[in-house]
Amino acid sequence: MRSTMQDVQLTIGSILEHGTNLHGDSEVVTATPDGVRSASYAEVRGQVGRLANALRGLGITGDQRVGTFQWNNTEHLAAYLAIPSMGAVLHTLNIRLFPEQLVYVANHAEDKVVIVDDSLVGLLAPQLGQLDTVEHVIVAGPDAASADLDALRATGKQIHLYDDLLSAQEEDTSWPDVDERDAAAMCYTSGTTGNPKGVVYSHRSAWLHSQMVTTGNVGGMTWEDRVLPIVPMFHANAWGLVYAAMMSGASLCMPDRWLQAEPLVRFIQQSRPTLSGAVPTIWNDVLQYLDAHTDVRLDSIRRILCGGSAVPVSLQKALADRHGLEMRQAWGMTETSPVASAAGVPVGVSGEEQWRYRGGQGRLVCGVQGRITADDGSVLPNDDEAVGEVEVRGPWITGAYYESDDPEVDAKFHDGWLRTGDVGRIDQLGYITLTDRAKDVIKSGGEWISSVDLENALMGHPDVLEAAVVGIPDEKWQERPLASVVLKEGATTTPAELRAHLAKDFAKWQLPDAFAFIDQVPRTSVGKFDKKVLRKEYADGDLDVHTAD
Ligand code: ADP
């Protein structure tokens, strides 16, 4: 029997119309050097129409790709809404990619137009000449006219000022009929191995994912909320927070390029968000700032979503106990749109026991299925004991990469499931606990040692700001853990003391015997610990390694 429901398509255009027509009074607030600028959603709707008309005028048709090289701000929001609604494909370019990766992804996606923030012109200009398919560049932002446009023009591309281009356009535009399974947006993974790989999101996948982000188990968003996506819109869709806000009618607070603790805290005080999302390193910085400025309270925030890498329990507890900030860990990756699980606590669990759940990667959300597989590909039980690679599937999980010629790419999929490259276990209630990235596992004398658990415990030590643990070759045990530790300003400690701290929770054979004190943990283009670099530094003899005895 066929259903009698109407076949209405789930499109970004429908999110645009809902958010800007029914919630026209909600606003987007963007940080500026000396305060904020704001626009109502009704005004954003006008901007979106003009942007779409301008892009048509530059020749964008069909599913051509429009790149964005932008921070989180009003203009990026307009691009998020206009480009998919006109049937074209939004390609968010990660501004932190290495130059050769940026060139690779823009050429691979065949971007025709790039919208760039005034503050990022200097970063784009040196590579622009190599972006072969790009014909037009639109420079956006309050200071676009004073940006170094000559550097862009020198590449032979046509350069336009956003405001000039848009002011010549009508607001009204006719949107084409879009099929919900057509591409709406694409994002490349940061490519820790090989070339970056493109993930193409459909209107339907973005719609379903965003609606899931609004639900109580994740963001719990209503039109009374003000949402602060600190996670960049150029990285994994800002976790769906932008479309989710528009769906809920919630206002948006956009930090633009001011992501350091001090300006961020100031912006939070001015724009008063209720919900925010960012990786742990940002919240760690905010924590240090708040600890040093005890008169500052971020009392508008009711929930922080945090993920992208493991969120230490010590960070969550410190923010909750000392500053009244509740954090909820979420897990996912570019390939999963990205949110696949969120760490709410089961009913009836409280006190110390709740940290077992809040410290893990969370419970699978409805729509995402998860399983664990062994090295030979056999499926292991979700019994919280079996450890293996986590595999997921669902309507917002990618089933392939965009035109990839990487010979290893097929190994990323397994009978219709995505192999996440994350290693851990899943319990009967769908809670995931990760112990490692597949490429980061430490196997010592045949036994696994979890780098994530060691890092979390080290970061719980009062003198430690950050810690990253990698496996280093060992003649007797094949591999042993090496802990690279960043101490807090003015703090001193010794390997023996750190080992004693760890010994409370770990068996003796799991304790690192080698420690390096470093100034900062190397980061990838998306701000995660770059363990490759640490391993190389160790191999090259560049780390000052101390043993515990
Ligand atoms: P890339 O895969 O290019 O590094 P992503 O942002 O897509 O970029 O990274 C996804 C990965 O980040 C996941 O596979 C996982 O290893 C890690 N990750 C994300 N969220 C968490 C979390 N809450 N806890 C631990 N690891 C996480």
What pLDDT, on a 0 to 100 scale, did the predictor assign at position 465?
A: 94
Structure tokens at 145: 């006219």
* Strand arrangement of the beta sheet that strand 89-92 belongs to: 158-161, 136-140, 111-117, 65-69, 89-92, 183-188, 198-202
How many Å apart are CA 162 and CA 168, to the nearest integer?
10
DSSP 339-357: EEEE-PPPTT--GGGHHHH
Residue 422: which H helix or E strand, with range? strand 417-426
Question: Relative to the CA of 421, which ligand 1 atom is closest?
Answer: 14
What pLDDT, on a 0 to 100 scale, did the predictor assign at position 98?
A: 83
Taking CB atoms and a 6 Å cutoff, what residues make up the pocket around ligand 1? 189-190, 192, 236, 307-311, 329, 331, 333-334, 338, 361, 420-422, 434, 437, 526, 528
- Would you call 207 a catalytic residue per the annotation? no
CA quadruple 117, 118, 120, 126: dihedral, nearest 10: 120
Whether residue 232 has a cis bond before it, omega within 30° of 0 = no
- Do 436 and 425 contact (CB within 8 A), yes or no? no
- Would you call 189 a catalytic residue per the annotation? yes
- Would you call 448 a catalytic residue per the annotation? yes
Say which of 17, 448, 532, 537 is annotated catalytic. 448
Structure tokens at 138: 């639109």
What pLDDT, on a 0 to 100 scale, did the predictor assign at position 409?
A: 80
pLDDT tens for each residue of the chain, 549 residues long: 999 999 999 999 999 999 999 999 999 999 999 999 999 999 999 999 999 999 999 999 999 999 999 999 999 999 999 999 999 999 999 998 889 999 999 999 999 999 999 999 999 999 999 999 999 999 999 999 999 999 999 999 999 999 999 999 999 999 999 999 999 999 998 755 578 899 999 999 999 999 999 999 999 999 999 999 999 999 999 999 999 999 999 999 999 999 999 999 999 999 999 999 999 989 999 999 999 999 999 999 999 999 998 999 999 999 999 999 999 999 999 999 999 999 999 999 999 999 999 999 999 999 999 999 998 999 999 999 999 999 999 999 999 999 987 777 878 999 999 999 999 999 999 999 998 888 788 888 878 888 989 999 999 999 999 999 999 988 888 889 999 999 999 999 999 999 999 999 898 989 998 999 999 999 887 778 888 899 999 999 999 999 876
- Do 233 and 70 contact (CB within 8 A), yes or no? yes
What pLDDT, on a 0 to 100 scale, did the predictor assign at position 548?
A: 73
- DSSP label of 119: G
How many Å apart are CA 377 and CA 227, to the nearest integer?
41
Instruction: Identify the residue whose C-alpha is closest to ligand 1 atom 7.
Output: 333
Q: Which residues contact 435 (CB under 8 A, 6 or more apart)?
A: 387, 423, 424, 425, 441, 448, 450, 451, 452, 453
Say which of 222, 353, 443, 536 is annotated catalytic. 443
User: What's the predicted TM-score (pTM) here?
Assistant: 0.91
State how far Cα 539 lies from the chain centre. Answer: 30
Residue 170 CB coordination number (10 Å): 9
User: 332: CA distance to ligand 1 center in Å?
Assistant: 6
Instruction: Give the CA radius of gyration of the chain.
Output: 23
